[in-house]
Amino acid sequence: MAKDKKKIAVIGAGSWGTALALVLADNGHQVNLWMRSKEQQAEINDRRTNHKYLPGITLPDNITGFHSLQKALEGADTSIIAVPTKAIRETMRNIIKIIGTPMTFVHVSKGIEPDSLKRISEMIEEEVPQELLKAVVVLSGPSHAEEVSLRHPTTVTVSSKDMAAAEKVQDLFMNQHFRVYTNPDLLGVEIGGALKNIIALAAGISDGLGYGDNAKAALITRGLAEISRLGTKMGANPLTFSGLAGIGDLIVTCTSVHSRNWKAGNMLGKGKNLDEVLESMGMVVEGVRTTKAAHQLAEKYETNMPITEALYNVLFNGVNPKEAVDQLMQRLKKNEMEDLVDILSEQMEQK
């Protein structure tokens, strides 16, 4: 390996972990890709494919599959954590049993933990003792694994409390096809990435019900308004929501056939029930759990989030999707900007 090339562990060989392993491998790094399944490890090392998660893609020789977490982490000082939000704590607990020196953890997952209402960087900080924690960095933005693995132009953003660490991660991933920005607003980047999945589910439902582009544009725009309202109340920079982790990710997830959240919503709109939908997906649909968390956050921060509320009722209270849309449309008239203007004025007063 050349001097600036590193050994990097990617923990989780689903679609996103594998696509990011490819970006790092394209940049000349040695990638240790960890997975739970021995069969998947054999497939990756012997056939150079990951058929379940990224069909049709050939993996280069500088990606090695590992079933042993210990071996995957050996010699790496940076780990990319690419497991679903619900597996973050368990994964971090397993990692800290093994590593003896501090690591940088780059999380690429998009969710919020229900009940604790923690963001992923907060969960990682809670699980990893300080002496083993170099930095936590988030990588987020409009980026479907299927397109990244085809080297189609993609832009993402990285953020951290330690922006020097975020800049190092920017350098690790940045290449001709994968452009990485930085944004110091860690909270905003994580909230934008997590909450767009709720709106993507709603956009899928709308398409499944047979509604058109007007309805989808409304969901994206008013979805962004409620994400910005909550995020700003929580302390995010409102401008983050006009960036890659905000409107960027909303556009890609609400309009793409690749989106797992959109697909799940689409099936719900066509009349399938939640259990049937999740069973048939075979991949993580983060928006379902995040809807629960966002519903709790809306209560905690006394924020009006009508789309989240409507989706919560469809997912967990048996409300029919068509009825939920009717209720959204029949709400009292209001000024498009009023809530956000109030929140921003409150913020200015506090400063």
Ligand X SMILES: O=C(CO)COP(=O)(O)O
Among ligand X, ligand NDP, none, what binds residue 247 when CB lies within 5 to 8 Å by partner kind?
Answer: none
Site for ligand NDP in 39-58 (CB under 6 A): 53
Lookup result for tokens 């940076």: 78
- Determine which residue in the list 30, 32, 228, 253 makes contact with ligand X, applying CB under 6 A: 253
Question: Is the Cβ of residue 230 or residue 264 nearer to ligand NDP in the bound state?
Answer: 264
Candidates 41-49, 78-86, 179-187, 269-277; binding stretch for ligand NDP (CB under 6 A): 78-86
Q: Give yes or no for residue 259 binding ligand X (CB under 6 A).
A: yes
Question: Is the Cβ of residue 133 or residue 281 nearer to ligand X in the bound state?
Answer: 281
Q: Give yes or no for residue 204 binding ligand NDP (CB under 6 A).
A: no
- Determine which residue in the list 21, 72, 82, 220 makes contact with ligand NDP, applying CB under 6 A: 82
What does the alpha-carbon distance between residue 324 and residue 312 come to, in Å, rounded to a whole number?
10
Q: How many amino acids of this chain bind ligand X (CB under 6 A)?
A: 14
79 known member of a binding site: no
Question: Is the Cβ of residue 308 or residue 313 nearer to ligand NDP in the bound state?
Answer: 308
Site for ligand NDP in 113-172 (CB under 6 A): 143-145
Q: Cβ 215 to ligand NDP, closest distance in Å?
A: 24
Among ligand X, ligand NDP, none, what binds residue 261 when CB lies within 5 to 8 Å by partner kind?
Answer: ligand X
Q: Give yes or no for residue 240 binding ligand NDP (CB under 6 A).
A: no
Q: Give yes or no for residue 207 binding ligand X (CB under 6 A).
A: no
Q: Catalytic residue among 6, 118, 196, 216, which?
A: 196
What does the alpha-carbon distance between residue 291 and residue 294 come to, in Å, rounded to a whole number?
5
Per the annotation, the verdict on 322 as an active-site residue is no
Q: Give yes or no for residue 143 binding ligand X (CB under 6 A).
A: yes
Whether the Cβ atoms of residue 219 and residue 243 lie closer than 8 Å to each other:
no
15 known member of a binding site: yes
Q: CB under 8 Å to 218, separation ≥6 — which residues? A: none
SS3 track for the chain:
CCCCCCEEEEECCCHHHHHHHHHHHHCCCEEEEECCCHHHHHHHHHHCCCCCCCCCCCCCCCEEEECCHHHHHCCCCEEEECCCHHHHHHHHHHHHCCCCCCEEEEECCCCECCCCCCEHHHHHHHHCCHHHEEEEEEEECCCCHHHHCCCCCEEEEEEECCHHHHHHHHHHHCCCCEEEEECCCHHHHHHHHHHHHHHHHHHHHHHHCCCCHHHHHHHHHHHHHHHHHHHHHHCCCHHHHHCHHHHHHHHHHHHCCCCHHHHHHHHHHCCCCHHHHHHHHCCCCHHHHHHHHHHHHHHHCCCCCHHHHHHHHHHHCCCCHHHHHHHHHCCCCCCCCHHHHHHHHHHHHHC
Q: Give yes or no for residue 120 binding ligand X (CB under 6 A).
A: no
What does the alpha-carbon distance between residue 69 and residue 54 come to, in Å, rounded to a whole number?
22
Q: Cβ 223 to ligand NDP, closest distance in Å?
A: 17
The amino acid at residue 317 is N
Candidates 32-40, 69-77, 296-304, 330-338; binding stretch for ligand NDP (CB under 6 A): 32-40
301 known member of a binding site: no
Candidates 98-106, 111-119, 136-144, 205-213; binding stretch for ligand X (CB under 6 A): 136-144
User: Annotated binding site for NAD(+): which residue ranges?
Assistant: 12-17, 145, 260
User: Annotated binding site for substrate: which residue ranges?
Assistant: 110, 260-261
Residue numbers at the binding site for ligand NDP (CB under 6 A): 12-17, 35-37, 53, 82-85, 87, 90-91, 108-111, 143-145, 283-284, 286
Residue numbers at the binding site for ligand X (CB under 6 A): 110, 142-144, 197, 200, 249, 252-253, 258-261, 286
